[in-house]
Structure 1
Amino acid sequence: MRVAGPGIFRGMPTDPPADAQARLEAALPAALERIRQTPGVLGALWCGSAARGEANAHSDLDFHVLVEGDRRWRANYVVDGVPVEAFHNPARKVRAMFAAAQGDTITMFAEGRTVLPHPELDALTAEARALHAAGPAPRAPTGQERFRLIEEVMDARALADAGDPLHVLLACRAAELALEGLFGVRGWWRVKPQRWLPTLQERDPDAAHDLRTLLTTPDAGARQAALEALAVRVTGDLTYQEGGSEPVSVP
């Protein structure tokens, strides 16, 4: 039997990381020209993995575009075979997103590279870098968030005890909740899952070890232990507590 090799599916890129980065950088001038031709454009930031020099075969070009007026929109297109995503916002909307502590926007502006300069864009990136360095206010989980996380952990424990292969799925689902809670408790800006491990390795190596164990060990007991260690960092312990929501009127 012949085994299908990489790239057998049409359109699936197979570039090694260095080639992928070069491919995206080669498409950058054409992408910027399209952005320049957009009415009302003031400036633009190149954001995302490619802007950090971390592109892979599945990366695209991401931009945050500063525009005049009161409208915002999102555009997707392909330039020289490279997918492009551009977020267009006026400055006051960007500042509103900063004020709302939207970590993804703050991170984009803090880490982005200016490719179409404008004084207002310089001001926004400076504001974002200050916010990004300070981090969000630490936030403990609500009673309902704590209950949900513990419930997911206990559901996973039951599958681990039973030797059920679905434990892998439930453990990963619970780990996602635990990591969202951990970033909130520690006062860290949330990042995409692709950056969980390097972020934890930098800020909490023990948590990074637990996450890596959860993702890689074939042993359900070790996987569950790693999950519970992550969850306890958020909840303090795995005991249930009284709680609930306030009654609301039924329409």
Structure 2
Amino acid sequence: MPDPAQVRLEAALPAALARLRATPGVYAALWCGSAARGDGNAYSDLDFHVLVEGDLRWRSNFTVDGVPVEVFHNPVRKVRAMFAAGQGDTITMYAEGKVVWPHPELEALVAEAQALYAAGPVPRPMTEQRRFRLLDEVADARALAESGDPLHALVACRAAEQAVDALYAARGWWEVKAQRWLTDLDQREPGAAQELRAVLTEPPSARQAALEALARRVTGDLAYRDGGSEPQRVE
């Protein structure tokens, strides 16, 4: 049986598209996000990337039939610039989205995004500065776990977020929203998914152990090392 939330989102699609068609300068639209993938929920919105004439880019938001809508308006050359800059969120949305207002330029962008998505981003190993910040957060969490402070849950989750972000960068994976981390990691690196689940669900001692295991996936160990930024001129 179809999910009622997804049905509601899809029912609002024609009215949202009519609003886009009435926007001056807009000539193509791509439906993106969770609703376009078919896994929208009661709190999802409708997301669109649209192509516009001229030199301006902007965002807009509105509601249709009680459904929130967010729209990213860009000229073609700006979209290609975002692709060239490796903006994973834009590449992913174009690669996974559905064309709902066709145009040859939009179809070409979708094909480019799909090729980029299939190739994956260039892996970015963790810098020493980023490694230090993660280790610092893990150590703060350890102190809270040992003292029984309930804030351990918050700090551990904050550190886990850093670790997961670093894992995606180091492995050369396109980033996904946090809501999709567990399902995505289940496919890519099940051990990391298991550790993240433990951080989210286990009591403090087990949570801290899982956090440290997750951090070691990108840091190698939990030892501090010498490092620092390059000197910068003070203006």
TM-score range with shorter-chain normalisation?
A: over 0.9
State the distance in 1 between where 2:142 and 2:25 align.
55
1:187 to 169, 172, 196: 172
> Which residue identity is paired with 1:84?
V
Distance across 1 between alignment mates of 2:98 and 2:146: 49
Distance 2:60 2:230 in 1: 41
Residue 88 of structure 1 aligns to which amino acid in structure 2? H
One of 114, 117, 120 as aligned partner of 1:132: 117
Deviation at 1:249, TM superposition (A): 3.3
CA deviation after TM superposition for structure 1 residue 221, in Å: 1.1
Aligned mate of 2:215, from 210, 218, 231: 231
Q: Counterpart of 1:73? A: 58
Q: Does 1:154 align with 2:119?
A: no
Output the CA distance in 1 between the equivalents of 2:195 and 2:176: 18
SS in 2 for 1:104: helix
2:168 maps to 1:145: no
Superposed CA offset, 1:12-49 (max 9, x none): xxxxx811111111110000001011111121100011
**Whole-Å separation in 2 of the counterparts to 1:214 and 1:143:** 24
- Size of the aligned set, in residue pairs, is 235
Distance 2:172 2:221 in 1: 20
Q: Which residue of structure 1 lines up, in the alignment, with residue 193 of structure 2? A: 208
The CA distance in 1 between the partners of 2:166 and 2:231, in whole Å, is 25
Percentage of identical aligned residues:
71
**Distance in 2 separating the partners of 1:211 and 1:248:** 37
Extract unaligned runs of 5+ from structure 2. none
Q: Which residue of 1 aligns with 2:87?
A: 102
* Paired position in structure 1 for 2:12: 27
Q: What is the match of residue 45 of structure 1?
A: 30
In 2: Cα distance, 1:166 partner to 1:124 partner? 45
Question: What TM-score results when the alignment is normalised by the length of structure 1?
Answer: 0.91
Runs of 4+ in 1 over 4 A off after TM superposition: none
Out of 161-170 and 92-101, give the one that drifted further. 161-170
- Which blocks of at least 5 consecutive residues in structure 1 are unaligned? 1-16
Q: Say which of 79, 86, 100 aligns to 1:115.
A: 100
Q: CA deviation at 1:248?
A: 2.7
Kindly indicate whether residue 200 of structure 2 is the aligned counterpart of residue 221 of structure 1: no
What is the TM-score of this pair, normalised by structure 2? 0.97
Are positions 1:241 and 2:225 aligned together?
A: yes
| Distance in 2 (alpha carbons) for counterparts of 1:248 and 1:108 | 36
CA distance in 1, matches of 2:228, 2:57: 38
